[in-house]
Structure 1
Amino acid sequence: MASGKKDTVASEDFRIGRTKIAELPKVSLHDHLDGGLRPQTVLELADEIGLDLPADDAKGLEAWFSDHIDGGSLEDYLEKFSVTVGVMQTREGLVRAAKEFVEDLAADGVVYGEVRWAPEQHLTRGLSLDDVVDAVQEGIEQGEDAADARGRDIRVGQLLTALRHNDNARDIAELAVSWRGRGVVGFDLAGPEDGFLPQRHREAFDYLAEQFFPTTVHAGEGAGLASIRSALLDGRALRLGHGVRIANDLDVVSREGEEVQVTFGDLARWVRDREITLELSPTSNLQSGAVTAWGDTMDAHPFDLLYQLDFSVTVNVDNRLMSATTLTRELGLLAQAFEYDLDDLEAFQLNAAAGAFLPVEEREELIEIISEGFHR
């Protein structure tokens, strides 16, 4: 079965029957801007600002990320972002990164996406928080226009991320709310998870709740159930970034073929019954060590267990460059590992559409687009 390393099959070659997965409409909820740059863009932007890189050509740089990303821990996984964040410190760099990001989403068949990134990481060359959000929004709109010119309809919203190990979550929360209706659709908390519970930023989350502003929180990736519990109680999270370790609150009593008998912990039952969206990223979860307790191959990932138990599972890339992947590839690897058919892949997209930070009318429209695309 497939592992977390880069697959040799091109994304566009993944099929179910005669259907190319690349041509199916998709929703991307967990996709980091600084984890999705094109290698050639990193090279060119680095040259413009005089930043040293570990490779001097696009293929070499792509190989550097791919060969050094399987660190087995979230902290090792996050270490590589110093390179991509380093080239995103000017308005020109941010606009270009966001524009190409949207174009790459559209080429992957994404019809709605949410791009998350941490504005506080892009201030070293004199830009303000508002400046960087404005630059990314300009790039997104340029990317949407470019995709439209190629006959691809896509909409992308921003998720502004605060870093859990820093102390300015309230500032980022206020920034996100100030950009509501101008491109920002939600708030995210990310960064090293173990030892940094969401409750550290309760003031920011209280403010967001008072403003009725939606939040997603990275939890259940680098830490366990206590992190997920805090994301829900302190962060009022509507979605869990990864959330894969919710499986730790399940006790598999028996498994016979497709029949699984499980005892639920209170936390797992709450997440399942309240339909809290799980933003699962299979390849990334393997690379970061998030699923080590279950194994190190795709068929060992608890994704299928959670799906069979009716959790609101979604499929995401996390970081396209770092994990050398696409949404098409993630769906293809899951289909290979668990023998999923088109109905299963459609269910994942419908879950993502239902969990999108959009008004209900727009979510319903998105659901129609997905259904029509899968049944065409």
Structure 2
Amino acid sequence: MNGPVLQSSSSVLRPASRLSSIGVSEILKITGLAAELKRQGRDVIVLGTGEPDFDTPEHVKDAAKRAMDAGATKYTALDGTPELKEAIRAKFKRDNGLDFAQDEITVSAGAKQILFNAMMATLEPGDEVIIPTPFWVTYADIVLIMGGRPVLVACREDNCFRLTAEDLARTITPRTRWVILNSPSNPSGATYSEADYRPVLDVLVEHPHVWLMVDDIYEHIVYDDFRFVTPATLEPSIRHRILTVNGVSKAYAMTGWRIGYAGGPATLIRAMAIVQSQSTSCPSSISQAAAIAALNGPADIVRERCQSFQTRRDLVVTALNRIEGISCRVPKGAFYTFAGCAGLIGRITEDGERIQSDTDFAKYLLRSAGVAVVPGTAFGLAPYFRISYATSASELEEACQRIATATSRLS
């Protein structure tokens, strides 16, 4: 009889050192835990996912069906079909007053891949990337994977979680390669008007070695007559070092179609194409056909859905501000609230446990109230918690009531 097979140390997986400082995002962890509780029969309301609850518009799905019927199921041009690039060029001109040539446009499998390609194409070990907090966690992790150093700059609530020119100027060093700005913001819903952007752009004008990456993915989800603007429009003198990132996921409820795009200088776009050629190659041909229909199609449905998001925003903000110990600013865009819970730190649960952080509070809500939220710590700023209100009004009302009840039981 054969004896047991001994596993040699050389056969044990040795993860690359670049993974030592990153992990699965807190958002996915919380969503996974909530899903597991649901499988166990618990009644859980998940407010952690940044995904519209609306379906992809019918005319977009019809375009995908037509593409399949026409046999458009082969490889396409590496970083986007000419037809999709034309639709993107028209969108930038129509919505932002920006003229891009075809070789200044790139298309990837989601906006996240755009960010990844750009960082892979430009960062050397030790290069610094300035990221205002609170921030979408992927920004920093991508920088770390590339051997760069995320430089996190805390943005004060009394400035609506926006980066100030003074903080930016203090943070720039000779190693700074990029600044990342996201408006409207995930997770805070913060927005930059022309007046907000101007002093920040003035600083960048004075530092020609620093490039600007602008994440405009929530461009069309804005409220209260806020007028969206993007830096490449406002400061043409530095447009040759701006990458303007966008996609169809949020505005058109196309998260699963995985199409992101960007406009920027041709030299950068070519370098990003090299990266993409050795990773995913072209985006899905069917998804590209659908994205053309989304970008060229009617805008009415986007405006209607934005109005629905605004109604839900008002519901959640009003409910949270009625809860003693919680305060919530009114976000001007995206579909998140970023509420402060400093007034609850130090309180005691029914089980005698002390709430010592926003992470403790989020765990308490999941365990005690069956509501999944994401702690602000995950986004680099505490003590806050993020709620995604991209779900039904009835679920939001129930969730807010549960949060209020659970909070009232703290002593």
Could you tell me the TM-score, scaled by structure 2's length? 0.30
Could you tell me the TM-score, scaled by structure 1's length? 0.32
Q: Which has the higher helix share?
A: 1
Which has the larger Rg? 2
